[in-house]
Structure 1
Amino acid sequence: MRKLLTCILITFISIPVFSQVTFQRNGVYDERPAQYAFKNATIVVDAQTVLDNAMIYIKNGVIESVGKDLQVPAGTFVYDLKGKRIYPSLIDIYSDYGLPEVVRPAGGRGFGGQPQLETNKKGAFDWNQAVKPEVDATNDFKVNATKAEEMRKNGFGSAAIHSADGIVRGTSAFVSFGDGRENEVLLKGKASAHYSLDKGTSTQTYPVSAMGSVALLRQTYYDAEWYKKGGSSQERNLSLEAFNAMQALPQIYEANDKLGILRGDKIGKEFGVQYIFKGIGDEYQRLDEIKATNSSLIVPLAFPTAYDVEDPFDAAMVSLTEMKHWEMAPANAGALAKAGINFALTSAGLRNKADFWTNIRKAIEYGLPESKALEAITSTPAKLLKVDNLVGSLKKGMLANFIITSDNIFSKDNVIYENWIQGKRYIISDMNIADIRGVYDLTVGEKTGLKLNITGKADKPEYSIALDSTKFTPKVTRMGDLFTISSKFDKKESNDTRLSGYYDGKSFKGEGVLVDGKQIKWSAIYKEAAKETTKKDSTKAKTPEIGKIVFPFTAFGNEEKPKQETLLIKNATVWTNEKDGIVANTDVLLQNGKIAKVGKNIEAPAGAKTIDGTGKHLTNGIFDEHSHIALLSINEVQSVSAEVRQEDVINSEDINIYRQLAGGVTSSQLLHGSADCIGGQSAIIKLKWGENPNNLLIKGADGFIKFALGENVKNGNNPTPSGRYPQTRMGVEQVYMDEFQRAKEYEKAWKDYNALANKTGVVPPRKDIELDVIVDILNKKRFITCHSYVQSEINMLMKVAESYNFNVNTFTHIMEGYKVADKMKAHGVHASTFSDWWAYKMEVKEAIPYNASIMAKVGVTTAINSDDAEMARRLNQEAAKTILYGGTSEEDAWKMVTLNPAKMLHLDNRLGSIKVGKDADVVLWNNNPLSIYARPEKTIIEGTVYFDSEKDELAQQSVAKERNRLMLKMLAEKTTGAATQRPTPRRNQRIECDTIMEMLDSEK
């Protein structure tokens, strides 16, 4: 009775003063100050401070004091927690709790059918629906009792909530998981600002690509800066006002993977913003690069489940990357902690929030220190959100947000008894319930010799009944100290005997009904403590063994990134691409990433590695002038997309990099596609397998941009009119004329402003990252590579360029170049074409395989390109076709895939030939490189061997071995009854100029 009154009293007085709000009440209510103390507890103030046998005193929902031997005022209810612990309640930094569900539109979001070119949103807001900084989570927040209870049960007391919708997502609210009204549980409005590259529910066509999302975010920053500097006098824009206002908040950016973090950091550095990155749990794959960003992370604990690989056909659909990530994902948090990277953990992504504790314990098992784990769910999120004066630790003046536990919070057997939020008590498990575990002598009527064994957790006991060697598992229902038990007590019994009774603090007593209906008495007298079924291992648990991280994190990745060496290649047939031509029995020394010497009988310097080139051919690396590999997206779909940059979407993990190294390719120009009249800016890279995207870029290279002519840009192959201008080839010309004229006027506006910049009150022009690129073209600082087929349009663009006093740099494809080669030479334009592709669409019907040779003989610098990941692996053979079609010499044919592309991209001072001082990008072939039997034995970039045919054979064996090891591990996981997932089939996608959708990683 006393215990019952105590529970009632605690519940009654735990109504906090926070309930005294402006809302009117119907009836009477208690206004007494809520003050109570918890003594004799182990109090974990924070991850670094633990007080044994201490007290915490709270009043009106706020912590008044924490320590030992505290004196508390009269009238304080004192709660004795002997043997129990108190921790700060957990904080979820990345949640959508209490907000409307984000429902994405069905279909293509304005793409794939009739495009929605302009915003549908009414009012003085941003021009793009995906930019909505005016969204404030406090306006949409509604208490959700069911979800709040779920979070409380898992120990959470508060969360930062935001709407995960759009590229600029607005601001979050910081709320508690209390059950009061919204104005009672809202702890802080506008807690953080949120961004992503996912346009979310926007049905507006732009952007359709990740690079378009990057450009839109960058332009928004510039627009906001202009607005702040005086643009507000020219227009009223509520979105830009909200965007500027939220810059003082913590800036949280959702990245779609570890490379997305690097991509976002690049944006942040451009605008002086230090983002907090929400990752996906693969950050361990690029630790050094992520640490270098100096960013804090928000890390989910949603680990992938094992794949069901029992069927060999299913197993073949699972990539090595997926297998390795399944194994290594639990070690992510531990790796971050070891690397010294600051991070918070989140329950985001978990379908079942109860898995949070299972997974955090798994992360600890895989190397995450408990102290770091505690910080990551308490003090760290509080500091990142700048609410550490309210929550995250247990100190004077902070909110009374804490949990009472039975044990170490990370212990498998720990029980969360209560979660106090804003000083209000929420009972999770009854901490006053008796611990009944033990071994009892059970007597049921006249039946003796029975043993009742009660094991398991104190709050979730497990029951068994034994008679000699026979065991029974009873059904037990418990209500406090009252019990009902149903069980057989003899194998011969057909039905259960039903017992009811109570626990008196030591033993059980009661009455029951036997199978035959006879009423009896029963008892279970305590004999001894419960015996453990398994012996505790006193040794420290070992961290599970997992595979090695490889760079990149895919098949054929290396445990260590390849290193630059001093290499002497002896006695090779060297294709110099210089006036010496092809020279036999020649040595080439590669040193410090450059070609140091070319000649005969070169002595190896100290520390050099000598490679025997006898009977082999040494060339410079192949340069693919037109490629779309290693990109997450190819096209942004609007008439002019000059603002987008391919370098923003480089995927350094693309297996095609390795495959093309195996074909002798060392450099590529990664081009935008041909959906737009003016496409995006190129990325020129070296195929440094294992490096991050930024390290693939050729530093100091001139800027290039993709233009396009013909059927693609006018939607000539679209059976349904798109409504997008232009629809004719004439319209394409007008797009160019209009854009160049606008760029001239834009440049003049900036010149006029700069002349008046010192005068007060002068509003600068709005920086336009699209027109900035066009101005660079006019000023010959950026150069055009143009997708082209038909001679009339080729002539048109040359005339447009000449009318604006610049030249087109390169026509790519240029299938009718043989018709206008003389005009091309006069204009000074280069040609990059296919060897023998034709008739794959109407405007290619007059293409001929003699095209390259004819243009070259007229004097046009001509290259053979791929535009295709598979063709790029055999560009040496594509070059050889010009010998068949047109009688091109071997040396000139080879230049079409080496020196000529380097000239087109203004890199022939560094690349394209074997000459002292140039980059040490060379390939050692087993045969004449123009032979169909030729195969690279070594592909070297800047003195680093990135492909070695002998090591490749070992790597293939290693990949097969690693796949088998991981499959066996997954099969073993399945036998334990763990959940598995079915592999999903992959569609091999051919990536070319007109590919629209986002690219996905793939490996075979």
Structure 2
Amino acid sequence: MSFFCCSCLFGQDYFPKNDGVKTTNTNYTAFTNAKIHVSSGQIINKGTLLIHNGKVISTGTNVSIPKNTKIINIEGKSIYPSFIDMYSDFGIEKPKAQPRSRSQAPQYDASRTGYYWNDHVMPENEALSKFNYDSKTAKALLDAGFGVVNTHIQDGIHRGTGALVALNTKEGNETRILKENSAQYLSFDRSATSRQAYPNSIMGSIALLRQLYNDAAWYKKGLSKTKDLSIEALNRNQDLIQIFEAGSKANALRADKIGDQFGIQYVILGGGDEYERIDEIKNTNAAFILPVNFKDAYDVENSFLTSSLALSDMRAWSQEPTNPKVLADNNISFALTTHTLKSPSEFKGKLMQAIKNGLSKEKALEALTLVPAQLLGQSTAIGTLNNGAYANFLITSGDIFEKKTKLYENWVQGQQHIVTNMNTIDIVGDYEFSVDNTTYKMTVEGDIKKLKSKITSETKTLGSKISYNNDWVQISMTTKDSTSQDFIRIVAHVENDAALKGKATLPNGNEISFSAKKSTKTEDDSEEKDKKDDDSKNSIASISYPNTAYGFKTLPKQETLLFKNATVWTNETDGILENTDVLIKNGKIVKIGKNLSDGKAQIIDATGKHLTAGIIDEHSHIATASVNEGGQNSSAEVSIEDVIDNEDIGIYRNLAGGVTSIQVLHGSATQLVDVRLL
């Protein structure tokens, strides 16, 4: 279905405006002499972007500009498509957990009539029914470069449909809503707003999803005598993109297995650990949505915390930033998301970590624009600056994936959002100045809105704060005298060459003239600093299997093995055989005898050693993501096979004790139906 047919909301112009009489600018706007990134694979140098009524009219080097056009010359600056976050809860109030006292009886039945029998399944939910535009969060997202979000209610196992929303701060929801039912969302997590007991484990969630799909197929045949609004919503939206919140590589594989069983190809929200089992992840054939909430460096100077820090945590800290690159290297399609970040303002810093660890800038831009647009079926309307697309674009000082690059403006549907004034002079850099016959050096770092200063005199670092607004700088710094809390306060105007000129107020109240000149660094100096930054980054820990202490460098493979001269305990009528050889191929014993040979076998001298069958543990609960499902009286539908954890350290500990086979069982809370044939 084409974008322009997906909703009738685009043509609505009959809404009353109660914020005063305003005139609408119907002129064209042309941005000239820009480096235009039309898409991740198309760049126009010295180009023109022409927009009108919130849409891109033309991009190129020879654009015909109409007479009624506002021309904005942004020579030396770059234009990019605004970013898209396809996994968001923007504008949706976070679900609040239902309180429950210890004396309260468990809730076994659904609390709703006319809907599915389980409250954690809510396909009928629609994001728009609970959507309220959040101006504060919208500003944070716009400042981070995002122009469109795909939002939904993050509650329950089947969460219903999301909505595609433009972060247009000037207009109402009638123009912001790009698609009212953009995708169906699922997860393994129970609803926070329901107290229904079942399921209370991940294997129960898997069983419930399978039951839901079976019930929906049965209902579709018209066999039900009752009306189920949940199943009707599920069937009605079955052709929408299906987005599954997995949150880990193991859950991604579990979700994909369900999808394969019912002919559904999910788009999977990952957990950032897909790199650990990339071959299995690739075999899902799924597109992924990747969070970039990489771990911060651990404080290893704290001896108490260090003693409790696992090597697997240190490995994750080192390896997680490589995850996007690993997926890109394996031709796995993925989008990036701000999901799990404390604030969208963290996004660029985290993304820069991924780029430093090998993610190409082209792939990064693609994952933020074209890929989410394509997955959502909206690539003609968002994600590029092709003719007819929405005028959603960023104006930057240069390469958007460089740390020093500034984001000036974020235009959404042709509406301007100023992030940083384009005419603001950049004062980041190094300065030298004198106050009261003392020489100081100052380094200014950070974003214009949140600058940091470091001031030194000789070898001593002084306390300091800096603020910058409307071409004026205010600096507060301590004096060299550490025995008193005296301050020098500076107010200075920023000149065109970033020089600072103004007044300094001394601790005694006297005012003196102040000036500071920004040092000019050569390009070689900048390159040397960048190289130093790259050299200082931590080397990446290699993957092991499992990815913990003492893991294997490669996945173990079956080999042809020949054990020579062992004492073999056959556990059969042959009894114990002395000085006997055992040949193993493809995981099985193929021959037992004396003087055996095989040219391809690895020879293992077992002289003086005993070889016996491995121990079989008939009843165990190791290597499971969940064991018990006690959410309802009979839970015979759950399967331990769904939740086997092949990386459980218990497997290796059992192997070390001689155990080679284990029957993994449910816990005692899982109730089975006793069926007997009489």
For residues 477 and 303 of structure 2, the distance between their equivalents in structure 1, rounded to whole angstroms, comes to 46
Instruction: Report the counterpart of residue 646 of structure 2 in structure 1.
Output: 652
For residues 67 and 329 of structure 2, the distance between their equivalents in structure 1, rounded to whole angstroms, comes to 49
1:49 aligns with 2:39: no
CA gap 1:662/1:312 in 2 versus in 1, 3 angstroms: farther
Count the aligned residue pairs. Answer: 660
CA gap 1:188/1:470 in 2 versus in 1, 3 angstroms: same
CA gap 1:501/1:45 in 2 versus in 1, 3 angstroms: closer
Q: Which residue of 156, 159, 162 maps to 1:169? A: 159
Q: Which residue of 312, 324, 329 maps to 1:333? A: 324
For residues 271 and 511 of structure 1, the distance between their equivalents in structure 2, rounded to whole angstroms, comes to 73
CA gap 1:630/1:402 in 2 versus in 1, 3 angstroms: same
* 1:933-944 matches, cutoff 5 A: none
For residues 91 and 361 of structure 1, the distance between their equivalents in structure 2, rounded to whole angstroms, comes to 17
For residues 449 and 675 of structure 1, the distance between their equivalents in structure 2, rounded to whole angstroms, comes to 76
For residues 321 and 99 of structure 1, the distance between their equivalents in structure 2, rounded to whole angstroms, comes to 35
* 1:4-153 matches, cutoff 5 A: 22-25=15-18, 27-106=20-99, 114-121=105-112, 123-153=113-143
CA gap 1:500/1:337 in 2 versus in 1, 3 angstroms: closer
Instruction: Report the counterpart of residue 281 of structure 2 in structure 1.
Output: 290
Q: Which runs of 5+ in 1 are unaligned?
A: 1-16, 679-706, 708-735, 741-800, 806-1004
My pick for the range that moved more, 86-95 or 463-472, is: 463-472
CA gap 1:471/1:395 in 2 versus in 1, 3 angstroms: same
Please say which structure displays the higher CA radius of gyration.
1
Instruction: Report the counterpart of residue 204 of structure 1 in structure 2.
Output: 196
* 1:792-871 matches, cutoff 5 A: 801=676, 804-805=677-678
Shift of 1:222: 0.7
CA gap 1:336/1:557 in 2 versus in 1, 3 angstroms: same
CA gap 1:608/1:245 in 2 versus in 1, 3 angstroms: same
1:345 aligns with 2:336: yes
1:408 aligns with 2:399: yes
CA gap 1:464/1:552 in 2 versus in 1, 3 angstroms: closer
SS in 2 for 1:596: strand
Q: Which runs of 5+ in 2 are unaligned?
A: 1-9
Report if the CA contact (8 A) 1:587-1:598 is conserved. yes
Shift of 1:181: 2.4
Q: Which residue identity does 1:644 align to in structure 2? A: V
CA gap 1:619/1:61 in 2 versus in 1, 3 angstroms: same
Q: Which residue identity does 1:283 align to in structure 2? A: E
Report if the CA contact (8 A) 1:484-1:501 is conserved. no
Shift of 1:502: 7.0
CA gap 1:23/1:661 in 2 versus in 1, 3 angstroms: same
For residues 670 and 171 of structure 1, the distance between their equivalents in structure 2, rounded to whole angstroms, comes to 37
Report if the CA contact (8 A) 1:464-1:474 is conserved. yes
Instruction: Report the counterpart of residue 574 of structure 2 in structure 1.
Output: 580
Q: Which residue identity does 2:638 align to in structure 1? A: V
SS in 2 for 1:134: coil
Report if the CA contact (8 A) 1:91-1:159 is conserved. yes
Structure with more of its chain in helix, by fraction: 1
CA gap 1:176/1:598 in 2 versus in 1, 3 angstroms: same
Q: RMSD in angstroms over aligned alpha carbons?
A: 3.3
Q: Which residue identity does 1:230 align to in structure 2? A: G
Instruction: Report the counterpart of residue 214 of structure 1 in structure 2.
Output: 206
Instruction: Report the counterpart of residue 848 of structure 1 in structure 2.
Output: none
Instruction: Report the counterpart of residue 568 of structure 1 in structure 2.
Output: 562
> Alignment identity in percent?
41
For residues 402 and 287 of structure 1, the distance between their equivalents in structure 2, rounded to whole angstroms, comes to 34
CA gap 1:591/1:483 in 2 versus in 1, 3 angstroms: closer
For residues 456 and 314 of structure 2, the distance between their equivalents in structure 1, rounded to whole angstroms, comes to 45
Q: Which residue of 351, 373, 390 maps to 1:399? A: 390
My pick for the range that moved more, 267-276 or 95-104, is: 95-104
Q: Which residue identity does 1:293 align to in structure 2? A: T
Instruction: Report the counterpart of residue 640 of structure 1 in structure 2.
Output: 634
Instruction: Report the counterpart of residue 610 of structure 1 in structure 2.
Output: 603
Instruction: Report the counterpart of residue 999 of structure 1 in structure 2.
Output: none
Shift of 1:578: 2.4
1:626 aligns with 2:616: no
Q: Which residue of 360, 373, 378 maps to 2:369? A: 378
Instruction: Report the counterpart of residue 243 of structure 2 in structure 1.
Output: 252
SS in 2 for 1:248: coil
Q: Which residue of 524, 544, 553 maps to 1:550? A: 544
Structure with more of its chain in strand, by fraction: 2
CA gap 1:602/1:399 in 2 versus in 1, 3 angstroms: same
For residues 552 and 365 of structure 2, the distance between their equivalents in structure 1, rounded to whole angstroms, comes to 34
CA gap 1:561/1:112 in 2 versus in 1, 3 angstroms: farther
Scaled by the length of structure 2, what TM-score is found?
0.89
Instruction: Report the counterpart of residue 872 of structure 1 in structure 2.
Output: none
SS in 1 for 2:321: helix
For residues 129 and 97 of structure 2, the distance between their equivalents in structure 1, rounded to whole angstroms, comes to 21
Once the two structures are superposed, residues 552-578 of structure 1 have per-residue CA deviations (whole angstroms, 9 ceiling, x without a partner) of 223342111222222222222222232
For residues 191 and 504 of structure 2, the distance between their equivalents in structure 1, rounded to whole angstroms, comes to 62
CA gap 1:352/1:471 in 2 versus in 1, 3 angstroms: closer
Q: Which residue identity does 2:604 align to in structure 1? A: I
Shift of 1:306: 3.5
Scaled by the length of structure 1, what TM-score is found?
0.61
Shift of 1:402: 0.7
Once the two structures are superposed, residues 302-336 of structure 1 have per-residue CA deviations (whole angstroms, 9 ceiling, x without a partner) of 11234445455544433332221122111111111
Shift of 1:663: 1.7
Shift of 1:338: 1.2
Report if the CA contact (8 A) 2:275-2:323 is conserved. yes
Once the two structures are superposed, residues 217-248 of structure 1 have per-residue CA deviations (whole angstroms, 9 ceiling, x without a partner) of 0010011111111135x221100000011211
Once the two structures are superposed, residues 150-191 of structure 1 have per-residue CA deviations (whole angstroms, 9 ceiling, x without a partner) of 111111111111111111111110112222322232111111
SS in 1 for 2:642: helix
For residues 442 and 18 of structure 1, the distance between their equivalents in structure 2, rounded to whole angstroms, comes to 60
Report if the CA contact (8 A) 1:646-1:672 is conserved. yes
